[in-house]
Chain A
Amino acid sequence: MTARPPEPVREPVPVHPRLGARVAYRLQRALRPNPGYRWLAARIEASSRARTAFTRAERETKQALFGCRMCGQCALPVTGYVCPMGCPKELRNGPCGGVGADGSCEVYPDRRCVWVDAYERAASAGRTADLRLLHRPADNRRWGASSWLNYWQGRDEQLWTSDAGAGPGAGP
C-alpha cells in the first residue's frame, strides 16, 4: 500500500470509468454478497485498523477506476458501472434535461454526461432495465464509509427498488 494519503475529490465531476463494462459486470458476479463475504466484512468491521485499511484500499481502487467520491452507498452495480455521484447535480435516477446534443455534460461541456455513458455501457451488457430502478435519496451520514462492507453486510438492499409504492424513505 502506498504511503500517500488519499485525496478525496470534493466537487462532483463526470468521470469516464477506466474499467470496461464487461469486466465490471464479471467482477459483480464474483463479488456478490454471500456468507463468506458477510463473515469477512464483519471481521474487518470488528477492528478499526482493519476497517481503515480496507476503506482506504476501496477508496484508492474505486477512485482510480471510477472517480469514486466515497458516498458510501454505491450505485455502480445498476448504473453501468459509471458513478452517478460524478454528475454535478449528483443525480442518481438518470440524466438531467441539459445534456448537450453531443452527449456532453452541461456543467462540464468537455466531459461526457455520466448518464450517457451509463446508458451505453448498460446497453452493451443488456442491462438497461437496471436504469429503470428508483433510487432512494442518499444518506449523507454515510460519506467516507466503505460501501463494500455495507454491501456485503446487506445494508445496501434498500438503496433502490422497482416498486414505487414502497415509498422513498429508507426504512428504519
Chain B
Amino acid sequence: MSLRERLAAGGFAVTAEISPPRGAGLQQITATAALLKDWVDAVNVTDNQGSHVRLASWAGSLAVIGAGLEPVMQMTCRDRNRIALQSDLLGACALGIRNVLVMTGDHPKFGDHPGAKPVFDLDSIQLLWTLRTMRDQHRLLSGRRLDPAPDCFLGAVENPFAPPAAFRAERLGKKVAAGAEFVQTQFVFDVPAFARWMGQVRDLGLPGRCAILPGVGAVRSRRALDFMRDQVPGVYVPDDVYRRLAGVPPDRAAAEGITLAAETVKQLAAIPGVAGVHLLVAGNEQAVPAILDQAGLTAARGSDGC
C-alpha cells in the first residue's frame, strides 16, 4: 500500500527521514532504506538539508525505490529557479518517484557554502501551486502544455510553533489551497501547543483535505539536545522537556530520547485530525524500530502489498 493509498484509506501513516551521503555512493542509503522498509510507509530523502551539500534527493530517492521502499523526494526553493524546479519534477516523476515534499529551504548562510547565491525564485506555496497545475491542468507555469503530465502526491511542511503563531494554521491553509495533500511538521516537543494549533487547523477544515503528520524526533545526547534547542532555526524545546532529557546520565540519554519520542507519538496519535507521524531521525535511523515498538506501532508495513 502506497503512502497516498494508506492516507486515503484513513490509516495511520508513518514516515521517516534519510539523509543522503556526502559522497558519490548509494551503499549507505540503500542499507538504511532496507532497515526501515518494514517499519515505515515512506521515507523522506532530504535535499541538501541545512544547506550542506549532499547527494541529490532524486538520486537518493531512486536508491530507496531500489531497496523496496517508497521515497518522499524533498525539494527546496533554495538552489533552483522555476525552470530547474519544474524540470526536476518531470524527471523525478518519469523515474517513478511519486511523493514530493516542497519547502522553502534553509538559507545558505547556515550551510557549508555560506557564500552561495540564495535562489528563492519561487516560495514553497508558489512551487506547490506550480506542481499541482502541472499535474492537474497539464500546464507549466508559463502556460505551455505538458505531455504526459506528472503523477505526483504533493507534500508540504509547517512549523506550528513559530511566530506569528496566529497565522500558522492559515499558512497551512494557503499551502492546502495551493495543492498540498499531506504535511509534515517541524519537531513536536510541546504537545499541548501542537494540540492548540491542531484545533485551529480543524476549524479551517484542513484535515479532510490534507493529511497531517507531526514530526517526532529522538534526541540522542545532551549535545544533540543543546544543538537542537540553540542552533536549529524553528525548533522549540520547552523547559520541562529539556530538564527531563538533560537530567538523565549520559549513558541513558539515548534510551530516554527514544522513550520520550514513543510517548510523544502516542499522545499525538490521540489528537483528532492527526493522520500519522513523521520521524525526524536523519542520521539516527536505527532508532525507528525502538520508537515504533514502544509506541505500539509494530505492524509491519513494507510487506503488506508493495
Please list the residues of chain B having a beta carbon within 8 angstroms of any beta carbon in chain A.
77-78, 82, 103-107, 109, 118, 120-126, 129-130, 133, 137, 139-143, 157-159, 161-164, 166-167, 170-171, 173-174, 177-179, 186, 233-234, 236
Contact = CB atoms under 8 A, between A and B. Distances in A.
Contacts of B106: 98
A98, A99, A116: most-surrounded residue (chain B CB, <10 A): A98
Contacts of B120: 89-91
A100 interface: yes
A134 B137 CA distance: 18
A58 to B, nearest CB: 24
A120 interface: yes
Contacts of A107: 107, 109
Given A164-B178, A169-B133, A131 B167 contact: yes
A115 B164 contact: yes
Interface residues of A, number: 37
25 contacts: A88-B107, A89-B123, A90-B123, A92-B126, A93-B124, A96-B234, A97-B103, A97-B157, A98-B233, A98-B234, A99-B163, A103-B164, A107-B107, A120-B164, A123-B166, A128-B167, A131-B167, A132-B173, A134-B129, A134-B174, A137-B82, A137-B126, A137-B130, A169-B142, A171-B143
B228 to A, nearest CB: 13
A168 interface: yes
Contacts of A103: 163-164
B122 A137 contact: yes
Interface in A75-106: 88-103, 106
Contacts of A95: 162-164, 167, 171
Nearest to B124: A93
B163 A94 contact: no
Given A97-B104, A106-B107, A137-B122, 15 more contacts: A95-B163, A97-B157, A101-B162, A115-B164, A119-B164, A119-B167, A123-B166, A134-B125, A134-B177, A137-B121, A140-B121, A167-B133, A167-B137, A168-B141, A168-B178
Nearest to A168: B129
A149 interface: no
Contacts of B142: 169
Interface of A is mostly: loop
A102 B236 CA distance: 11
A118 to B, nearest CB: 8
A99 B166 contact: no
A100 B234 CA distance: 6
A98 B129 contact: no
Contact of A97 (B78, B121, B158): B158
A91 B137 contact: no
B126 A135 contact: yes
